[in-house]
Each structure stands twice: as structure tokens, then as C-alpha cells.
A and B are shown apart, each in its own frame.
Chain A
Amino acid sequence: MNRLVTVAEMTLRELLRRRGVLLLLLLMPLTFYLIRRDAYLGQSVRSLLLGVGWAVSTAALFATTAARELEPRLRLAGYRPHHLYLGRMLGLWVVGLVISVPFFLLPMVDGADLRYGGLAAALLCSVAVAAPFGMLIGALLPRELEGTLLLLTVVTVQMLIDPAGSGAKLTPFWSSREIATWTVDDTDQGYLSRGLLHGLVVTALLALGVAAVASIRLRRRRHLRHLPVG
């Protein structure tokens, strides 16, 4: 447990020291919110949630890429793969929650009339999905540029796809969009429960994907035999 918490703490410290990145992380959802503000509140809130998801995914991608060289030696220093990926995920979730707070308060300050419980749930879903999503991309694509371009593609698809279409459910942030509809448009509970279920399932699948890739990359190789000190 101590190892997991230490990795989470160091992830948090690293990200909090990247002040420029943090500023951009905060700027992105804010821009997304403001750019749609004149039109319709629902669009504005959905864009905000997508901005938070994109920001946390990007942070996760960069944190994963930065740790690529360090993790093998931490493995040799006594860490198991799950200490490393779960610790990092935990740290990213905390960062995500921290940057979500101002965006929970933003519509409130803006005087928006919506279900704030729903907004909190949608933000939680966004952050929950975004951390393993960015980590998985970072684990599969070793270079930041490729990872960022892939993230951009996914977010663009998410933004443009018809949410009612069957393909929309395959996009990672569909859950927060669904919950946002319940939050803003006062729709039935089905939107909320579908969204929460989707968020839970997608988070679990992505976390399993991260676990699988990390376990393969940091596995004990078969050619190496360890003997106790004789």
C-alpha cells in the first residue's frame, strides 16, 4: 500500500510542479465553456465536460510517457507493475478532481440553472475515464506527439458524433455527455443511470487495458532466473 501511495504522491508532485501545463489544463475547459456560452447552456456544459476529459487525458498521457524510462528501474527496486500503474492512476484522479472543482463552481457563478448533483457526477465520470484513457494511449504510443494526435482525434469524434447513434456509445466520454443531458435538460433518470453505467464500464475496461499493457511491458523475463543470496 505504501508503494502505491508513494507513486501516487510523486505523480501528484510532478504534475503540480508543471505550472504551465496546469494553467493550460485549466484554460482548456474554460475556453470550451465560454465559447459555447452564448448559444445554449447544454452545449456549454457538455463542452466543459469534454474539456475536462481532454485535459486530464493529456496530463495522463504526458505522465505516462515521462515515466517510461523510470518504471523499469522502479520495478527492479521492488515495485510490482500494479503499484506503478495504479499509483499513477490514483495520482491522476486526484489531479483531475482538483481541477474539476473550479469547473463545478463555474456554472454556479455564471448563474446557470441546472442539476448540480448531475454536474458533479458528470465531472466524476469525465475524470474517472480520462485518467486510464490517457494512460492507455501513453502506454501504447511511446511518443507524446502521436499520443496527443490520437487524443485530439478521439475528442473531435466525440464532439461531432451524433450522441443518439449507436456508434456514440463506443466513444469514451459518452457517459458524461449523457449525464450532462440529464443535468441540463431535465430529462428522465434513464440518462443518469445509463451514463453512470457507461462511465463505470469504460473506466474498468480502460484500467484493465492499462494493467494488461503494463504487466506485459514490466513482466519478469523468462530468461532471467533469480536465486536467493547463497
Chain B
Amino acid sequence: MNADDWLRTLTAELHQRRVAADAARHVVAEAATHLREGGGDPWVVFGPPQQYAGAVVESIGTAPGPRPGPVRLHAAGITKKYGRRTVLHDATLTVRAGQIAAVVGANGCGKSTFLRICAGLMSPDAGEVTVSGRLGYCPQSGGTADFLFADEHFVLVGAGQGVARGPARRAGRAAARQLGWEAGGDVQARHLSGGTRQKLNLTMSTLSAPDVLLLDEPYQGFDQGTYVNFWDQLSRLRDAGTAVVVVTHLLNQLDRVDIVLDLTPARETGWHAPGIQGGRQ
């Protein structure tokens, strides 16, 4: 990692840790000046960027996060059975504008089912969901058309909202750029790599500027850089007032979320669904 990469990583880390934008710019500028004038390997001079960002946060603190807004998603008493097997029992989740909720749990515990019920793509056996505003949904896989270009996906989704072709294409490309992907070009979706296809999937779900965004493990196939960009984008959406629900099994990201809903059955964890609501809240 050269000095530029190190500085970029530091910038991302400061942003993720919610250091005020002005202060973060100042810290990065100072570090850059120091490296330019004094020379040396930033890893030797400052240490790993994550560690340095942590020290900065300890020293100057973080900007207060925006106060959560009104309730955007309220799922209450969701129960779902497949035959005799109960996959969800009385699961409840409330997410406000400007919050990220993580839905976690063991394989087969009903995370995707819960999200599909919240999206209205599947009916529960009991319970109800109230959504305030527009809903966006990104499935775990699929959800794209093999023989269409990325731009055509943007046009297709845009037309649903009455958005003209040009603006839909531009909005799609801009959203894709946030994930480090230049979406233009005549490449059919079936020829995209798994990770890039998921970027397309994710971009489609954010294109309609949803008030509630439901993401079902959307980062399958992402490389490390894209994964960081993904969480950056979630932070941006949260700061812009979107209520985000993300199904994840990567527990190391839970410090970045406001609410955790654990759907692991009670006999495995000792708790009872509907799980916990914790995290940063």
C-alpha cells in the first residue's frame, strides 16, 4: 500500500467512524503534508490506517450522528411456517429513518424469509408490516435480466417511477460509481462477474431513492474494496435519512449498525425471537 492508498483508507475509516467532515479533511491534509515533507512509509510513521483513525477518534471524538427520524418500517409478530416447521416466530423489528438494522442468525433461520415478508413478496402466517414511504429491495441473487445491459436495467427500473431514460441512466451510473463500478458499456448482465452483478443488483434497489431499503446479503462476491464502499454507501444512505435493513452473517460489521435482530431460534442461543435490538442504538 503506497502513501496515496494509505491516505484513501484513512479517509474512509474516518468517514465510517463518523469523524466530522471538516476535522477528517484536516487530519488527512496534515498527514499528507507530513508524509510529503518528512517522507517515509506511512505504515512506519503512523501505523495501520485503521489504528491511526482509532487514535484520531479517541483524540477529537466523533460528530454526533443525525437523530433517528420517524418510524419507516414496523414489522410486528411475524410468524411463518413451511409445512410443520416454524421458521419465524413472533419476530418484530422497528426501524426509523436514518437507522441501519442488521438481521442476523444461523443458516435457515428465516432471515431471507423475514426480508421477503417485509418487502411484501411473501405472506406471513401471522403478523403485519407497516412501511412508511417507498420500498427498495435487493435479493440475495437473481433479480437481473441476463441479456440486458446495465443501462437497460436502469432504464427499466426508472420507467417504473416515471423517470425518463437519460436521467435513469445517469442516476444508475452515479449510484454504481459509489460502489467503485463504472456501469456504462455494452456488457450483458450474464457476462458480469458475480460481484459486479451484485453491484448491479444493489444499484437497482437504490435507484428509486427508497425510504426503506431491504438488502438480502447483497455483498456476495464483493472484493474487500467494494465491501468497504458498500458499507460507506449504507452510511451515506443512513445519513440521508433512509431506513436500511440488511441481512448479514458477517458479525464484524455489527458495530456499524444501529439495531440488531437475531433470528436464531431460542434453543440455539438461549434467547427468544424476536431477538435483540441493540448495536449503536
A6-B155, A74-B157 known; A223-B139 Cβ under 8 A: no
Contact of A230 among B132, B137, B161 (CB under 8 A): B132
Contact of B147 among A6, A14, A69, A223 (CB under 8 A): A14
Contact A221 B146 (CB under 8 A): no
List chain A residues, Cβ under 8 A from B123: 221-223
A229 at the interface (CB under 8 A from B): yes
Tell me, rounded to whole Å, the shortest Cβ–Cβ distance linking B5 to chain A: 36
Contact of B160 among A78, A220, A225, A226 (CB under 8 A): A78
Query: From B123, which residue of chain A is reached at the shortest CB distance?
Result: A221
A189 at the interface (CB under 8 A from B): no
A66-B146, A223-B117 known; A73-B131 Cβ under 8 A: no
Contact of A2 among B120, B121, B162 (CB under 8 A): B162
Number of interface residues of B (CB under 8 A): 41
Contact B119 A230 (CB under 8 A): no
List chain B residues, Cβ under 8 A from A222: 123
Query: From A4, which residue of chain B is reached at the shortest CB distance?
Result: B159
Per the bound structure, the CA–CA distance linking A230 and B212 in Å amounts to 13
Q: Could you tell me which residues of chain B, from 106 to 159, have a CB within 8 Å of some CB in chain A? A: 117, 119-124, 127-137, 139, 142-148, 152, 155-157, 159
Known: A14-B148, A76-B135, A78-B208. 17 other contacts (CB 8 A): A10-B152, A10-B155, A17-B147, A69-B142, A73-B139, A73-B143, A73-B205, A76-B119, A78-B161, A78-B162, A223-B128, A226-B135, A227-B133, A228-B133, A229-B132, A229-B134, A230-B70
Query: Which 3 residue pairs across A and B have the least CB separation, nearest first?
Result: A78-B160, A77-B160, A69-B142
The chain B residues found within 8 Å of chain A, CB to CB, are 70, 117, 119-124, 127-137, 139, 142-148, 152, 155-157, 159-162, 188, 204-205, 207-208, 211
